[in-house]
Structure 1
Amino acid sequence: MIYPRIIAHRCGGALAPENTLAGLRLAARLGCRGVEFDAMLCADGVPVLIHDETLERTTSGRGTVAAMSSAQLAQLDAGRRHHPAFAGEPAPTLDAALRLCAELGLWANVEIKPSAGQELATGDVVARHAAAASGKLLLSSFSAQALGAAAAEAPQLRRALLVEAIPADWRERMLASGALALHASARALTAAALREVRDAGFPLACYTVNRRDDAERLLALGVNAVITDRPDLWTASEM
């Protein structure tokens, strides 16, 4: 499984409103080859890009994503809280984000981010939409249930299991979820766990690495990719 070395976290990292098309465009302008973003279902079953189950932190809305229709979400401002220059930027649908990734030539890590109790439905729907996209992508999730549903819906799509610290039973958990790669927190990564995963031949990506020296150290140790809020720390040729 081939990864870009540097992957922009939540579309554009700290440089643009998270999980927005503006972030994707900025990542592409910086020379990023890969981006990561979150996909959650809203009330009418449409997958949209958002991280939290609630709206207040990143948008002008109030309440939960699961209680809002895609039409209602499209009217919210998902840019102003980051910076007034991004005022009016909407929370996009997954389809819109994947279309733009294809246009910009961006590899996409789509994190399946279910609301509580929506693990199976979110895995199924996100996989169905991702399978219809034309770009290169990978599905990931902390939820083994969501990954299993994604595997059943679109077995041809590659999948990664998300963890914080790599658990002792990581192989069993990957097998149960149908994952072919592991994404782990850089902060909780140990040399022994890294060596075990790499020796077993599984790709490993680390999040969220915001210092260039930390990223370069991890890459030198054999990590396949780092997910970062600061893609501007690298030149296009280094990504």
Structure 2
Amino acid sequence: MLPAMFAAVAAFGQSHHLHLDNYTIPVAKKGALVGKLHDQKGPLSRPQILEDTSNLFTLNKKGELRLKKKQALRADAPAFQYTITVQTGDSKESFTLVRDDFHRNKVVAHRGAFKNNAGSENSLTSLKDAIRIGCEGSEFDVWLSSDGVPVLSHDPHIGGKVVEETTLAELQKIELKNGDRVPTFEEYIQEAMKQNGTHMVLELKPSKKGRAIELTQTCYNLIRKYQCQAWMLYISFDYDICKKLVELDPFAKVAYLNGEKSPAELKADKIWGLDYSMKAIDKDISILQTAKKAGITTNIWTVNDPAKMDEYLKAGVDYITTNEPEILLQKVK
């Protein structure tokens, strides 16, 4: 076995170069296209499915992954996750495909659905509540603990401790509201993957200790480990984090938070979306339509005023992040 230090370095440097451009399976469509296989190293070479225990899928020489011609995925099928292993050349990778029952209601619960429920913000309880009420996404914030574990906290400190200077064991001694404790990103993934209606909206926090790229790579390694790409949306105030995510996965749905980049700049850097504050959007609300024309998705945070929700919905925003998801859900019914 590798010594612990070298094992950690190997994990940090882990590289995956096979990707799908989509991981969700359309419902009730025979022979539906699921996604296309891509190899960052170059052209595909004899792509094939090595393992498909469901016997539902086919992969052609162009890398198109489809349901078999006479197969359609029923909405009431007992399973919603399907794992396949594919190969191209001497490279192989396993992916989890997910029946597409994800909500499309624009509602992103800020730090989970915590304000009107019993749980703490950024907790497994607030995630469960966001899922329970039917949000399209549940947003949460992640830092690295001092021993390199991604953990949830909005602020750089929690319970009187600086997250990046505190071990996971010490952080998990902190008691939050309703008996919640500080969860790890890994625990959050495990909980989110029990369902297929609500996306995880992962905010990767900038680091004053120079650990932003380490955080990004560590989280990405967990995402590949659990094959949870179908559930993931990414956001960050750190543009280098956004670009690193796109480098790791060219099809990752990454949105930038800080507000100063134009849709054209984001498109040039292959960033999927802009996720700007109300203040930034209100300076020029036409940016929503400019972004739409450029193929850039739009989100606005943090919108708690019902009148502003109405205004932004009328203006055509794609998503709204809010501490009042229950109110917004009523508006988008």
TM class by shorter chain equals: 0.7 to 0.9
**Counterparts of 1:182 and 1:132, CA distance in 2:** 28
User: Is 1:18 the equivalent of 2:121?
Assistant: yes
Partner of 2:319: 225
For residues 144-173 of structure 1, give each alpha carbon's deviation from its aligned partner in whole angstroms, at most 9, with x where no partner exists: 111222233344422111123xx3645325
Identity %: 25
Aligned to 1:58: none
- Partner Cα separation in structure 2 for residue 109 and residue 102 of structure 1: 13
Matched residue type, 1:160? A
Whether 1:63 aligns to 2:63 is: no
In 2, Cα distance between equivalents of 1:200 and 1:44: 41
The CA distance in 1 between the partners of 2:290 and 2:251, in whole Å, is: 26
Structure-1 separation of matches of 2:272 and 2:213 = 19
Structure with the greater alpha carbon radius of gyration: 2
2:124 & 2:261 partners in 1: Cα distance?
38
Question: TM-score, length-normalised on structure 2?
Answer: 0.61
Residue number in structure 2 paired with 1:146 = 241
Provide Cα deviations, 1:60-89, integer angstroms capped at 9, x if missing partner: x3231011111211111122xxxxxx1x21
8 Å Cα contact 1:10/1:38 also seen in 2:
yes
The 5 Å alignment of 1:1-239 reads 4-15=105-116, 16-55=119-158, 61-79=159-177, 86=178, 88-105=179-196, 106-116=198-208, 117-133=210-226, 134=228, 135-164=230-259, 167=260, 169-173=262-266, 175-176=268-269, 178-189=270-281, 190-235=284-329, 238=332
| Number of residue pairs the alignment of both structures matches | 224
Runs of 5+ consecutive residues of structure 1 not aligned to the other structure: 56-60, 80-85
**CA displacement 1:162-209 (0-9 Å, x = unmatched):** 123xx3645325534x41111111232122322321221211011111
Does the 8 Å CA contact 1:183/1:206 hold for their aligned counterparts? yes
Q: CA deviation at 1:13?
A: 4.4
**Unaligned ranges ≥5, structure 2:** 1-21, 23-101
Offset of 1:28 from its aligned partner? Answer: 2.0
Partner of 1:124: helix, strand, or coil?
helix
Cα distance between partner residues in 2 of 1:214 and 1:52:
26
Q: 1:234 to 1:161 in 2, by over 3 A?
A: closer
RCO higher in structure (CA 8 A, sep ≥6): 1
Between the aligned partners of 1:226 and 1:90, the Cα distance in structure 2 is 27
Bigger Cα displacement from structure 2, 149-158 vs 188-197: 149-158
Q: CA RMSD in A?
A: 2.4
CA contact (8 A) 1:126 1:150 kept: no
Letter in 1 for 2:109: A
* Higher deviation after alignment, 202-211 or 149-158: 149-158
Does the 8 A contact of 2:206 with 2:237 survive in 1?
Answer: no
With over 3 angstroms needed to count, the CA separation of the structure-2 counterparts of 1:102 and 1:168, relative to structure 1, is closer
- How far, CA to CA, are the matches of 1:236 and 1:28 in structure 2? 15
Q: Give the counterpart letter for 2:112 in structure 1.
A: C
Aligned partners of 2:278 and 2:300 also within 8 Å: yes
